[in-house]
Structure 1
Amino acid sequence: MRVKEVAELAGISVRTLHHYDEIGLLVPDGVTEAGYRIYSERNLEMLQQILFFRELGFPLKRIKEIVTDPNFDRLAALELHRNMLLERRKRLDNMLATLEKTIRHMKGEIPMTAQERFEGLDFSKNPYEEEARKRWGDEAVDQSIAALRSLSKEEMAGLQNEMSAIYRKLAGLRHTAPDSDEAQAAIGEWYSLLRRFGNYPPEAFRSLGQMYVDDERFTKNIDKFGEGLAAFMRDAMAVYADRLQA
């Protein structure tokens, strides 16, 4: 398959595949006389593995170290990916059930105990995530937004205006490719703003973007500027983080 076909199949950009080739993460098995990349079945299997690691928050540098290790067990990795995602889905299902019950309680349809209010809201560590950390290192640790303790009311208002301006700019670009020059320039402004108030290494920036989608509170607030903005920012932040680490 040629690069455009693979990009469409996997739901990623051609530029992303070019980047993977350039850093030696996914080098196509063939090249035509005209210079077009040709991807084999083996390449597609490796791309799937890479994208699973990406979904779970691993930076590209660490993914490359993992998949090129002579002792890497692809089947074991896939089974662990499955277990981690099933655990995540189970947690989200439980939270949704509690949310639905809370809504019905607030409408006066059902009673609700204090204990029921917090069913599914277990923020203890995922046992499969712990296994992944032990097996592949501690590269995908989630980080929260830095506290803005020293800002006055006026400074905070100015910051909010600045953030809103970047949100609006990104919202205007959300229907373009996340790895486009325009999107990356705008997300670079977001990265620079965050770094004024705390340390954001690339993997933390990527994890923050994922949180914009995983946490419905972030999604709701961000998508006020345009439906789908949170997901667009997640994707653009992932690309930006990759390029910082390249």
Structure 2
Amino acid sequence: MTPAAMGDAAGLGGLTVGAAAAHLGVTVRTLHHWDRIGLARPSGRTGGGYRLYSAADIARLHRVLVYRELGLPLDEIGELLDAPAVDMTGPLEQQRGQLLERISRLQAMVGAVDRMIEAARTGILLSAEEQIAIFGERWKPSLTEGARERWGDTAQWAQFAERAARMTPEDWQRVADTVTTLEQDLASAKRAGVRPGSAEADALAERHRAVMNASFDCTLSMQVCLGRKYVADPGFTAYYDAIEPGLTVWLRDVIDAHARERGIDPDSATWV
């Protein structure tokens, strides 16, 4: 109902409780409750005894809604509305300031939700140019799209998207530096003949899982599945073997041995 129509209806005797509720965006039950507790009573009745709200009643209800939006309990709202008439400029300005603060907080929340939505779609809130600058020339921005298509409906992707939404380019740079250092150490260990199952190899497996844990909670069983994926996927194999020939299979064996020592059978590991 438009303001003009509301005014006409009120001038003709008042709005019914249903029309008043629709105009205010509340339920009829809410208006009945406010009537019962004396917070906002209609000043008129139809011949059949039904409530009728005048323009003044509607104005009071609008004030109730403003105070309620500010978080005031109904009993305090009633006291404010029934207080002796005073200059309301100061209180209204204070209310306006509080509303603006709330709007600012809500806008910030909307921005955060938008970032989470975008992170869920793309995985990384960086442009293709930023990704290459941070992760290096070998990085392909399409990898994140492939990851979303593969795991987008999993709890781990949702967890990754939530964390990614909070990350800045500087955060990603720290992640990239950590990964680069790990990859170099993996390659060095492979060249040095470090055996899967050794203390040094186990430490590298834990560092690998820690990198995964930065994105989502990665169990030993999940890590085994990732190691198997590296070997089965030509893209992953090419990536790791470009760092050091044979690194993909060696890393899988390191992960498998580490998991086996901790009671996980790599041959039956699942994504849990």
What TM-score bracket applies, with the shorter chain setting the length? 0.3 to 0.5
Q: Say which one has the larger Rg.
A: 2
Superposition TM-score, scaled by structure 2 size: 0.36
TM-score after normalising by structure 1: 0.40
